[in-house]
Amino acid sequence: MNVIFLGPPGAGKGTQAQRVCDALKIPQISTGDILRRAIKEQTPTGLQAKSYIDAGKLVPDEVVIAIVRERLAMDDCKNGYILDGFPRTVPQAEALSTFANIDAVIDLDVADEALVARLSGRRVCLNCGATYHISMYKDTKCQKCGEPVIQRDDDKPETVLARLTTYHAQTAPLVEYYEKKGILHAIDGAQDMDVIYNTILKTLGA
């Protein structure tokens, strides 16, 4: 199963993708996590990506396409994967179609007002990518790997609105793009997390 998780920032893509990947024993490929790691390690890609991420803009297509192409060629992707946060533009989706066969696209739909509240309370582990919300998790260390959990710079209010604008302008058209291909499954992302998780598994026939 090669699956894309689509949806605005804060819709729960990362959280759900992690759970589904654990259950199906396939890798979660998050371009956001890969880019944040590159920034932390100050690689050339990281240095190039940082200003875009900090401004709530998208990193240029050619940069992320190269990252994903290389990642999907790795051995652990042979039995399937979940793409979390890629593609985010129509040119990315078109490029993807030249080197991957996508079976299903899960679109998590959440209203903007709810997203702002979710993103501003979100905390993330930069080491393993686990995400938490301050309303439910008060610890300063990651439950999974013990590293510190922090607020992402781009989850601060001034950048959140820019990211939502970017989503509506550049990523939302992918809903129609994949609908036309007949592989889009829209799921109400405002529902309880367990309900969403079970709906995803059922949709994927897992």
Regarding 189 and contact with ligand AMP (CB under 6 A), the answer is: no
Cβ at position 39, least distance to ligand AMP in Å: 9
Provide the token pair at 46.
């990281």
Our answer to whether residue 19 is catalytic in this structure is no
Please confirm, yes or no, whether 144 is among the known catalytic residues. Answer: no
* Under rule CB under 6 A, residue 132 binds ligand AMP: no
Scanning 81-89, 101-109, 131-139, 198-206 for contacts with ligand AMP by CB under 6 A, the matching segment is: 81-89
H helices of the chain, in order, are: 13-24, 31-40, 44-54, 61-72, 90-99, 112-120, 157-166, 173-180, 193-203
For position 105 contacting ligand AMP by CB under 6 A, the verdict is: no
Encoded one letter per residue, x for contact with ligand AMP by CB under 6 A and - for no contact, window 137-166 reads: -----------------x--------x---
The least CB distance from residue 205 to ligand AMP, in Å, is 26
Q: Which of 19, 36, 88, 123 is catalytic?
A: 88
Binders of ligand AMP in range 162-181 (CB under 6 A) = 163
Residue 86 touches ligand AMP, criterion: CB under 6 A? yes
Q: Has 50 been annotated as catalytic?
A: no
Task: For residue 35, state whether it binds ligand AMP (rule: CB under 6 A).
Answer: yes
Residues 6 or more apart whose Cβ sits within 8 Å of residue 192: none
Cα diameter, the chain: 44
Contacts 24+ apart (CB under 8 A), 111-115: 111/190, 112/8, 112/164, 114/10, 114/190, 115/8, 115/9, 115/10, 115/11, 115/160, 115/164
Regarding 59 and contact with ligand AMP (CB under 6 A), the answer is yes
Nearer to ligand AMP, 86 or 132 (CB): 86
Radius of gyration of the chain, Cα coordinates, nearest whole angstrom = 16
Contact 103, 3 (CB under 8 A): yes
Task: Using CB positions, name the residue nearest to ligand AMP.
Answer: 32
Phi and psi torsions of 104, nearest 5°: -155, 150
Residues acting as catalytic residues:
13, 88, 122, 152, 163
- Binding interface with ligand AMP (CB under 6 A): 9, 31-32, 35, 52-53, 57-59, 64, 85-88, 92, 154, 163
